[in-house]
Amino acid sequence: MIVTAGKRRAQAACFLSVLAFFCANSPLHTLHAEDAGLAEQMLAQCLHRAERTPDETLAQAEQWLKQGGGDRARLCRAFAQFHGGDTIFAAQEFAALAAARDKTDRKHAASLYTQAGLAYMRANDHKNAEVAYGKALILEPQDPEMWLDRATERAAVERFWDAIDDLNRALDIMPDMIDALRLRGQAWTKLGQESKARADFERAAMLEAAEGVTPSPP
């Protein structure tokens, strides 16, 4: 399976984008103003705990949901499920939260669909991962990270030509995107296109050197 070096950065960006949206917007069940600050703090704490202690965080999220925590509690539960290995349930929740918002806030709905795609991908449900990434791209077609995300999923199932198509779109938007160049180089290698692969790897290494980053191996 091909995975980009920047995938963790992309996941972090998605996490922060989703967190920013839920902290700035009321859930479907509106909170009283005096409760909003506490709910935002609870969500931030919950999401940061989810990776370290997913089982404990899941139990807390379920209790919060019973107490009327609404979509913030659902998001917390989804991240706990994601980190605890219940990736299908997490993916379905991310997708449902996205669908509730794709008419009102395209950017953050797209981030939720991307998180759903990643969760489906971890569950080896590549069909639904493709659907989720496709919905994200309909909402945010000018976000190069989302083209990279879908390309990563397509490369994972050896759809290298489709992955290259997505990477070309990402690089059209952001020509100096190192992760996209490296992933495209790997895809070219798998297709036996050594000269094209070498060109992408050399370009990526040059950009890394310009940024003062130790070049990654191909």
Q: Output the domain CATH number for residue 172.
A: 1.25.40
**Is residue 88 assigned to a domain?**
yes
Q: Are residues 97 and 16 in the same domain?
A: yes
Q: Has residue 147 been placed in a domain?
A: no
Contacts 24+ apart (CB under 8 A), 92-101: 92/116, 94/119, 94/132, 95/132, 95/135, 97/71, 98/135, 100/28, 100/71, 101/21
**pLDDT tens over the chain, length 218 residues:** 444 444 444 444 444 455 554 544 444 344 443 466 777 788 888 888 999 999 999 999 999 999 988 898 999 999 999 999 999 999 999 999 999 988 888 998 999 999 999 999 999 999 999 999 999 999 999 999 999 999 999 999 999 999 999 999 999 999 999 999 999 999 999 999 999 999 999 999 999 998 876 666 66
Q: What DSSP designation does 50 have?
A: H
d(CA 177, CA 79): 28
Residue 206 within a domain? yes
Same domain, 16 and 63: yes
120 and 169 together in one domain: no
Q: Are 105 and 203 part of one and the same domain?
A: no
**What's the domain count of the chain?**
2
Residue 214, domain extent: 160-218
Q: Is residue 149 part of a domain?
A: no
- Asked, for residue 58, whether it belongs to a domain, the answer is yes
pTM of the model: 0.82
pLDDT of residue 22: 52
- The pLDDT, as a whole number, for residue 24 is 45
The answer on 199 and 130 residing in a single domain is no
Residues 56 and 126 in one domain: yes
- CA 95, CA 77: separation in Å to the nearest integer? 13
* Shared domain check, 127 and 74: yes
